[in-house]
Chain A
Amino acid sequence: AQSVTQPDIHITVSEGASLELRCNYSYGATPYLFWYVQSPGQGLQLLLKYFSGDTLVQGIKGFEAEFKRSQSSFNLRKPSVHWSDAAEYFCAVGAVSGGGNKLTFGTGTQLKVEL
């Protein structure tokens, strides 16, 4: 069965600093990988996704992620963090199950941005 590990529960960065959120996955085949962001009291918004092709994926809000098969990782990055980026970030792997795309999520990383 697939699984996702986000080793950092909380991360604090200063506004303007660079950001990297870690994600490791376990999946037997070619993974379908996603990053979602959740603001307090809100639903999840897709930042970016990877299926195949270029291993560096560009997303919304200036985020990017790099798929590294050898490390089973899909880390999320942003060169310069804005205060509005404070939220919880979830990495997920998609797998076909019963005919549909079932997402398996990590436990999330809570990002705090210091002004």
Chain B
Amino acid sequence: NAGVMQNPRHLVRRRGQEARLRCSPMKGHSHVYWYRQLPEEGLKFMVYLQKENIIDESGMPKERFSAEFPKEGPSILRIQQVVRGDSAAYFCASSPSGLVADTQYFGPGTRLTVL
């Protein structure tokens, strides 16, 4: 059973470009979480999605960031007009349900570098 897949693993963008990060959850998981890890910091929650729905986006910056989890295909975290402060590792996690008791399984992350 494949784990959570994220691609690309490394992404380099120049200021002002768009970044698209993809996350394929584990088979059978319909709940996806995105977290951001800034250098020397812990992971911070960004958004929680179920298929075709954004459930909680309380951790998402108000501008330039968006997320989706379509009926078919991976979840996408999109950052428009990237700035140097967006440089971070972005992790996706999935779980079979949204229950607190559920384990969240993490992908290997996408390391975004903004030049």
Q: Give the interface residue-count category, chain B.
A: 20 to 34
Asked if A44 is at the interface of the complex by the 8 Å CB criterion, the answer is yes
Give min CB distance, A107 to chain B, whole Å.
Answer: 5
Chain B residues within 8 Å of A32, by CB: 100-101
Contact present for A51 and B106 (CB under 8 Å): no
Task: Say if the beta carbon of B104 comes within 8 Å of chain A.
Answer: yes
Within 8 A of A (CB), among B18-50: 31, 33, 35, 40-45, 48
Q: Decide if B48 touches A43 in the complex (CB within 8 Å).
A: no
Distance A63 CA – B98 CA, assembled complex (angstroms): 26
Judge if A97 is at the interface, Cβ distance under 8 Å: yes
A14-22, A78-86, A88-96: which lies at the interface: A88-96
**CB-CB under 8 A for A102 and B48, given A42-B108, A43-B106, A107-B42:** yes
Shortest Cβ distance from residue A92 to the other chain B in the assembled complex, whole angstroms: 8
What is the CA–CA distance of A51 and B103 in the complex, to the nearest angstrom?
11
Provide the bound-state CA to CA distance between A98 and B49, in Å.
10
List B57-105 residues whose CB lies under 8 Å from chain A.
58-59, 91, 93, 95, 98-105
- Are B98 and A99 in contact (CB-based, < 8 A)? yes
Q: Mark A44-87, 1 if CB is under 8 A from B, else 0.
A: 11100101000000000000000000000000000000000000
Residue tally, chain A, CB below 8 Å to B:
27
Interface contact B56-A98, CB-CB below 8 Å: yes
Judge whether B55 is part of the interface by a CB distance below 8 angstroms: yes
Contact A100 B48 (CB under 8 A): yes
A103 part of interface (Cβ distance < 8 Å): yes
Taking CB atoms, residues of chain B closer than 8 Å to A96 are 100
Chain A residues contacting B43 (CB-CB under 8 Å) are 44, 90, 103, 105
Cβ contacts under 8 Å, A95 to chain B: 100
Contact A103 B45, CB 8 Å, known A32-B101, A46-B103:
yes
Residues on A close to B: CB < 8 A?
4, 32, 36, 41-46, 49, 51, 90, 94-108
Q: Can you name 6 A-B residue pairings with CB atoms under 8 Å?
A: A32-B100, A44-B93, A51-B100, A95-B100, A97-B48, A98-B55
